[in-house]
């Protein structure tokens, strides 16, 4: 499917209508009980030159946002698919031309995403080959890039865990590293030489060897340097503290943070933000093998700090201890980590909202604003130092779990210990929205690619 910035042409026109603003097709709207409310869709046949019109409702004009347009475009795209159309033209509503163009392109591209690698029958194949958007040409390109990076991340999250091993994830990063992005992949021997005790400890119970990946995007006269760090547990059984069956069912998504890093870095050469970006992730399985790490073991992270193991199912923070230590040595101005880290965050915010922990108000507000523009919800949670008492250890520098209460906060406080002083840092817990079980407007069930578009927007805004 290709997108073209061009005036409407062809038999099918996609339009958008605010509630009550139906003058050009009032009779068709009346005949079909269409009023322009959100989620409403009308297909009518006005005649030449437009034989067919698909109209998506936007709701009240005074409450319009690009996200509502993105969702309406997704609904129109799904109807175009049902009608087996090969080409559509899209006419934008009044407003910010660039923002609206990008929202439409993203909504259509993301709504038509499918993961069909293991489908023996294709069902209804997608015939839609060309989408003409009467909008801003650069915004069409940006929308395509944002959507493509998101879909790459979705593909990785949707892969079965026995296929998407740590080595496969590292190879995916290598494939995504285009001209303008360099990459280093460290094997288990090199990981051991770097004294990454958290990653090695979690990996000990698996027959699959771990990998550590460092992708780098550099641009001349960069305004700043940012490190993006992702959690890459390609399957989480819980280790010796094994999860119940239903709790393990979706644990192929525990590498969503690492997949988001790959997606973001894949897009940077085309977007060319004026920021140097390091993309970093540690990848391993967490399995209950005979050599698995045990409760009350003590692991030493790359920065020398020690961690007493209280629960082997609190493993993500252990591999992030090494990834954040490594990122800190690069001396970036800012580190942002993304991790499907805690069920506690899902209890607090539900399945649609990511939690952000940081003491940097500017960084917090910038990420939340970028998420709002891209339709990804992020909510600030407290990074309260008083909760540090809950992860103090008698035998090590800290415990890897403070227990049930405030679990998302104590996990964030744990991670803070591996970021050097003077570096602005934010932790984003994406445990809720990383994978959904039912279809959303432009998010089919499965991996969502959450944070990819938010981070791309944030990096471009720097």
Query: Does the domain spanning 151-461 belong to CATH 3.40.50.150?
Result: no
* pLDDT per residue as tens digits for the range 361-376: 999 999 999 999 999 9
Catalytic residue among 52, 142, 300, 317: 317
161: its two tokens: 């865990």
Is it the case that residue 122 has pLDDT exceeding 80? no
Cα 426 to its chain centre, rounded Å, is 15
pTM of the model as a whole? 0.97
| 68 among known catalytic residues | no
pLDDT confidence tier of residue 23, bands split at 50, 70 and 90: confident
Domains 2-134 and 151-461 fall in the same CATH topology: no
Residue 132 CB contacts under 8 Å (≥ 6 apart), including other chains: 3, 4, 5, 6, 7, 8, 9, 10, 87, 88, 89, 90
pLDDT at 126: 87
Place of tokens 């399985």: 285
Summarize the confidence of residues 214-225 as an average pLDDT.
96
* pLDDT per residue as tens digits for the range 68-88: 999 999 999 999 999 999 999
Summarize the confidence of residues 143-148 as an average pLDDT.
98
pLDDT confidence tier of residue 10, bands split at 50, 70 and 90: confident
Domain ranges of the chain: 2-134, 151-461
* pLDDT per residue as tens digits for the range 90-110: 999 999 999 999 999 999 999
pLDDT at 119: 87
* pLDDT per residue as tens digits for the range 165-207: 999 999 999 999 978 899 999 999 999 999 999 999 999 999 9
According to CATH, what is the number of the domain 2-134? 3.40.220.10
Is it the case that residue 48 has pLDDT exceeding 80? no
Facing residues of 429 across strands?
A: 339, 355
| 243 among known catalytic residues | yes
Catalytic residue among 61, 167, 174, 243: 243
């Amino acid at each position: 499917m290709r997108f073209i910035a061009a005036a409407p042409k062809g038999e099918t026109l996609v339009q958008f209508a605010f509630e009550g603003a139906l003058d050009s097709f009032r009779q068709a709207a009346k005949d079909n009980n269409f009023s322009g409310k959100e989620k409403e869709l009308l297909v009518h046949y006005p005649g030449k030159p437009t034989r067919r019109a698909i109209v998506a409702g936007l709701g009240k004009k005074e409450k319009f946002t690009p996200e509502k347009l993105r969702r309406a475009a997704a609904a129109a795209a799904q109807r175009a698919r049902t009608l087996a159309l090969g080409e559509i033209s899209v006419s934008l509503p009044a407003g910010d031309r660039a923002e609206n163009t990008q929202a439409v392109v993203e909504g259509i591209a993301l709504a038509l995403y499918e993961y069909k690698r293991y489908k023996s029958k294709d069902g209804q194949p997608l015939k839609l080959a060309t989408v003409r958007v009467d909008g801003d040409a650069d915004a069409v390109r940006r929308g395509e890039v944002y959507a493509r990076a998101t879909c790459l991340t979705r593909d990785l999250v949707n892969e079965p865990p026995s296929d998407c091993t740590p080595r496969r994830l590292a190879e995916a990063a290598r494939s995504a590293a285009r001209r303008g992005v360099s990459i280093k992949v460290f094997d288990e021997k090199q990981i051991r030489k770097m004294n990454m005790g958290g990653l090695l400890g979690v990996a000990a119970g698996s027959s699959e060897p771990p990998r550590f990946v460092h992708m780098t995007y550099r641009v001349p006269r960069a305004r700043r340097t940012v490190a993006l760090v992702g959690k890459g547990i390609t399957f989480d059984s819980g280790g010796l503290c094994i999860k119940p069956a239903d709790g393990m069912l979706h644990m192929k998504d525990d590498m969503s943070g690492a997949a988001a890093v790959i997606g973001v870095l894949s897009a940077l050469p085309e977007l060319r933000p004026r920021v140097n970006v390091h993309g970093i992730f540690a990848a391993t399985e967490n399995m209950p093998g005979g050599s698995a790490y045990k409760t009350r073991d003590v692991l030493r992270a790359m920065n020398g700090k020690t961690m007493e193991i209280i629960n082997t199912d609190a493993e993500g923070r252990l591999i992030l201890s090494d990834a954040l230590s490594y990122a800190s040595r690069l001396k970036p101005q800012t580190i942002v980590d993304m991790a499907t880290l805690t069920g506690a965050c899902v209890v607090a915010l539900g399945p649609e909202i990511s939690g952000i922990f940081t003491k940097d108000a500017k960084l917090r507000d910038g990420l939340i604003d970028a998420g709002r523009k891209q339709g990804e919800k992020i909510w600030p949670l407290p990074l309260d130092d008083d909760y540090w008492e809950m992860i103090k250890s008698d035998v090590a520098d800290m415990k890897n779990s403070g227990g049930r209460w405030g679990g998302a906060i104590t996990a964030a406080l744990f991670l803070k210990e591996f970021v050097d002083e003077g570096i602005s840092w934010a932790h984003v817990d994406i445990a809720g929205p990383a994978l959904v079980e039912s279809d959303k407007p432009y998010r089919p069930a499965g991996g969502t690619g959450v944070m990819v578009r938010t981070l791309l927007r944030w990096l471009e805004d720097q």
